[in-house]
Structure 1
């Protein structure tokens, strides 16, 4: 019997030419508006959204995880970041939609050039944060236009056959894996509320809901979330409002002493009741919608928009979560190493075949819950598309002389993984080896970094880019994102990027993934997950931190230019490979163990200085 796979390869594009945008324009005329803003978001500002919230993909055909469309009667634009400047034009009808890089023109600047005085720009207040609405309002006001909230989403009004909302099973996450009881977490949350002079917290981020109440769900693909809200008053019982009725009895029993469970439909009335007496409620600036703020204020409450304190708590993993992460990465390292050995033996393969083989390797361990995101399997030119997703229409086989980039991850009950390896198919060119080595030098610079307490990701980001900059090269994505504990593969607030303003703290897990992409030719990315840890340095005058690399899988030695890499970085690679070999070899079959021995032999023993 063939097992069900976690990924499909149908073309995810939903666009049917201009008909859908024209239908939206007709809906705008019916309400007397001139434009509509369509973000890639649900009411929780999730990165990965349920099928019924894929409005941007349905309308435009663009399937990336971030983007915004603005449709006016005479023009329309799709705004994307540097990850999608190649993908977006290939997916949308550029005769109807202008693809705009947000690094060059923001949506607000575009509105200043295209929205006219007296016109009305409409938006769904459930899909925008208060700050996002304020930016749109300022942009409209500058040209004498008006911003108007709609009662219903206009895309939904024209979307025939829109999927039903999800209703996945909600289960308890064992305290042994969570490392902290719900009672203790709620006590920490209430202490933060007291410190801020707040009367309650509105939990709008499903990740924070899952973490606080030690639960996991199945409403979102590849991320174990239950969609809904929670109210945590400074005094009294907490309450959860979940969209799914499929709540496991064990979870009900675990939460009964601490919190009430209600259907999601009861949430607006309960929120209004909590506002009695001008209560000051914290709304999460990152995930709380403008509609929530309006509900609070209409009920007489005070909407205190700021960071949800749970976000920072969740980012710092406790001892149980760290132990789980190490266990998950060992298990995942075995699977990825078996896959890399298979890929090396097999030679040229199709992108879909590689995805299926890697998923099979992970499933063989018996602990795989899901992949943590759709695998990015790009051979040749497809590897240059940063978030490429293979379909049956785009699938291609690798060819000798090409690079194969595969970025993947897994969800296990004890941890979430994310790893990227770039491998040579046949003999790589000198340019490929030179670019790979520069990316590797950046990766090693992050892995070896030692920095004082209080250092932010933005201060570290340049280390990964320096070798590329020296050759006039760069990449248009962050160097690292936070990662959850059997939660989202992309977790804030920590990140290593030019915009990473949060100080890194021991217990945070992040990715280390510099890259280089040559459009139409190849892509290179090297990604391991790292754990922020305290570093003891003799004679140090400050508290110092560094990174422990969690990911265990070999790098492709054939792509390393040892002369460019240098002795110190080569020593790090050799030490990393020795650790990979010592950790994984005892649990591998003989054939894979022999392959790993060759793949991790010291660099000085076989890599030429090209």
Structure 2
């Protein structure tokens, strides 16, 4: 059975009829508009079927965005990654794609709603920070934000799937590098130091990390959907379906962790003694309102687990390195196989299925996200997901983009490679080379302590900028250790001001996309490590975790500097030395050719 499905979950539905039903419901509830977010109550990027409200209503299946529905408008707000995809998925006669964040929701609402308009929202699906930002932007508009007790979309979604009850399991303490009891004690001590009696945790990956558990509620992300209240004495109340936990896992958690039904969260919040730590950037608006209704003192602060989780310890890094070794073997076997095939004999789905088979051989428990395998113009969609309706046969002269990853018991991988199918088009060479140079620039970067992702993002873009080109996504996201492939709060992007710290793992993935023609992205995972520095100064750099050749057939070698060639040759030597012992004779020979030093022969 395949981990990845190739159906379009929203493709066959009558979305205009659903929109009409929602408008009728809004009118009955006295609302002039309603916000439909992509997120669930945990602000997850990937949501369970029961929480896929945006896709159910509009047909748009991207991992970020939202819709605002009024009596005569329905805007689907999407960022640069989804400008092409949204046009293919939503009915243009009923839904209008809105470029975001270039168009602010407040500006759109001022034009869409009259003064005195009532805009509804579900307070469990929006953070306090989101609502405060929107309220401030609408302050003089006369438009009121109305928190609803019952989501009107859920009222018309009559066949809505049940919430997930995936089996939870223990995550090995040896792989985690710290027991759950030690983690709880460490965070509880921080609460006491900060004068806080308890903390509300709403991010399932934070909770799963804290308790050394993993789950199966959301495909590709081994999390347990839950809320938790951590007390300053280390006790924790876990609000989730108890059916997920067997006796062995309960014993693993110990008697200081109480497993309670989700319905008990609201009463528990009303009974809490403050100050209660709660994160306005990730916790639901509804949780703030419950605490405020009980006059409980609130301490607005970040999720107490989010930074400790981001700083990977030695055991977690060892696990990630081991996972990347096995994943590199699978990737080389795939790339060698692809080079032995005639492109016209293959489809995108065939490539995805072959890679999944090879990763199963390498020991995955799941893929870490739906594989992005785009040929030709499909590669120009940064988050393209092949379906049976879009499945494209490979063709000579095109490029193939494969962005994929695996979940292993000890680590999470995410890698993107580009392959020319036959002789590459000259149009691809210049941007491919610029993207590669940007990726190398990040890999080689050295920077002082205190530098954030925003400070180094331009290193990846500089060569594209010099050609009048760019890409509309961040350069890198945080990555969990045997956890979520997209993990906050660290990023490499223009808007990330969080300083990079030792042990943080990020992706390094500049790209370039030409609509209707091709797409390019080269991605490795990197970890922040100490770097040499003069006395009295702390410097940091990156270690590359990913082990897989980067295709050299698309490089304009004359455009690379000696240092860039030296870096690529050294990286390929590392890849060859690490992977060769694990390959058969044929794949080893392919790897030797793919990692041949650029200085010793022509590209």
User: The TM-score by the shorter chain falls in which range?
Assistant: over 0.9
CA distance in 1 between partners of 2:454 and 2:297 (Å): 34
Give, in angstroms, the shift of residue 607 of structure 1.
Answer: 3.2
Q: Give the one of 591, 598, 601 matched to 1:596.
A: 591
Contact 1:506 1:533 survives alignment (8 Å)? yes
Q: Give the one of 206, 211, 214 matched to 1:213.
A: 211
User: In the alignment, which residue of structure 1 is the partner of 2:88?
Assistant: 90
Q: Give the one of 525, 529, 549 matched to 2:525.
A: 529
1:30 and 2:25 aligned: no
The secondary structure found in structure 2 opposite 1:546 is strand
Contact 1:458 1:499 survives alignment (8 Å)? yes
Q: 1:244 to 1:381 in 2, by over 3 A?
A: farther
Matches within 5 A, 1:222-371: 222-235=220-233, 237-275=235-273, 279-348=274-343, 349-365=346-362, 367-371=363-367
Q: 1:189 to 1:333 in 2, by over 3 A?
A: same
User: In the alignment, which residue of structure 1 is the partner of 2:125?
Assistant: 127
The secondary structure found in structure 1 opposite 2:243 is coil
Matches within 5 A, 1:346-495: 346-348=341-343, 349-365=346-362, 367-495=363-491
CA distance in 1 between partners of 2:374 and 2:601 (Å): 28
Give, in angstroms, the shift of residue 146 of structure 1.
Answer: 1.4
CA distance in 1 between partners of 2:242 and 2:570 (Å): 48
Give, in angstroms, the shift of residue 250 of structure 1.
Answer: 1.9
Matches within 5 A, 1:551-570: 551-570=546-565
CA distance in 2 between partners of 1:541 and 1:273 (Å): 50
Deviations 1:520-564 (A, max 9, x none): 000000000001000124x45511110000000011111111101
CA distance in 2 between partners of 1:160 and 1:250 (Å): 37
Give, in angstroms, the shift of residue 196 of structure 1.
Answer: 2.2
CA distance in 2 between partners of 1:534 and 1:571 (Å): 21
List gaps (5 residues or longer) in structure 1.
none
Q: Give the 4+ runs in structure 1 shifted more than 4 A.
A: none
CA distance in 1 between partners of 2:282 and 2:42 (Å): 5
CA distance in 1 between partners of 2:88 and 2:234 (Å): 53
1:586 and 2:581 aligned: yes
CA distance in 1 between partners of 2:340 and 2:72 (Å): 55
List gaps (5 residues or longer) in structure 2.
none
Q: 1:236 to 1:512 in 2, by over 3 A?
A: closer
Deviations 1:278-304 (A, max 9, x none): x11111223210001111112231232
Contact 2:15 2:57 survives alignment (8 Å)? no
The secondary structure found in structure 2 opposite 1:18 is helix
Moved more, 297-306 or 68-77: 297-306
CA distance in 1 between partners of 2:322 and 2:4 (Å): 24
Deviations 1:69-103 (A, max 9, x none): 00000111011111111111111012211111113
Give, in angstroms, the shift of residue 68 of structure 1.
Answer: 0.8
Contact 1:245 1:263 survives alignment (8 Å)? no
CA distance in 1 between partners of 2:602 and 2:38 (Å): 45
Give, in angstroms, the shift of residue 347 of structure 1.
Answer: 3.0
The secondary structure found in structure 1 opposite 2:80 is coil
CA distance in 2 between partners of 1:542 and 1:473 (Å): 36
Give, in angstroms, the shift of residue 605 of structure 1.
Answer: 3.4
Give, in angstroms, the shift of residue 137 of structure 1.
Answer: 2.5
Q: Give the one of 532, 547, 559 matched to 2:542.
A: 547
The secondary structure found in structure 2 opposite 1:64 is coil
Q: Report the number of matched residues.
A: 600
RMSD between aligned residues: 1.2
The secondary structure found in structure 1 opposite 2:575 is helix
The secondary structure found in structure 2 opposite 1:69 is strand
1:159 and 2:154 aligned: no
Contact 1:415 1:486 survives alignment (8 Å)? yes
CA distance in 1 between partners of 2:328 and 2:349 (Å): 21
CA distance in 2 between partners of 1:357 and 1:591 (Å): 17
Contact 2:184 2:234 survives alignment (8 Å)? no
Give, in angstroms, the shift of residue 243 of structure 1.
Answer: 2.6
Q: Give the one of 52, 67, 70 matched to 1:72.
A: 70
User: In the alignment, which residue of structure 2 is the partner of 1:21?
Assistant: 19
User: In the alignment, which residue of structure 1 is the partner of 2:190?
Assistant: 192
User: In the alignment, which residue of structure 2 is the partner of 1:42?
Assistant: 40
The secondary structure found in structure 1 opposite 2:324 is helix
Contact 1:204 1:288 survives alignment (8 Å)? yes
CA distance in 1 between partners of 2:472 and 2:342 (Å): 31
The secondary structure found in structure 1 opposite 2:270 is helix
The secondary structure found in structure 1 opposite 2:264 is helix
The secondary structure found in structure 2 opposite 1:532 is strand
Give, in angstroms, the shift of residue 140 of structure 1.
Answer: 4.0
Contact 1:226 1:244 survives alignment (8 Å)? no
Give, in angstroms, the shift of residue 197 of structure 1.
Answer: 1.8
Moved more, 491-500 or 102-111: 102-111
Contact 2:242 2:260 survives alignment (8 Å)? no
Give, in angstroms, the shift of residue 496 of structure 1.
Answer: 0.5
Moved more, 367-376 or 11-20: 11-20
CA distance in 2 between partners of 1:190 and 1:74 (Å): 51
Matches within 5 A, 1:94-173: 94-173=92-171
CA distance in 1 between partners of 2:268 and 2:61 (Å): 35
Q: 1:139 to 1:112 in 2, by over 3 A?
A: farther
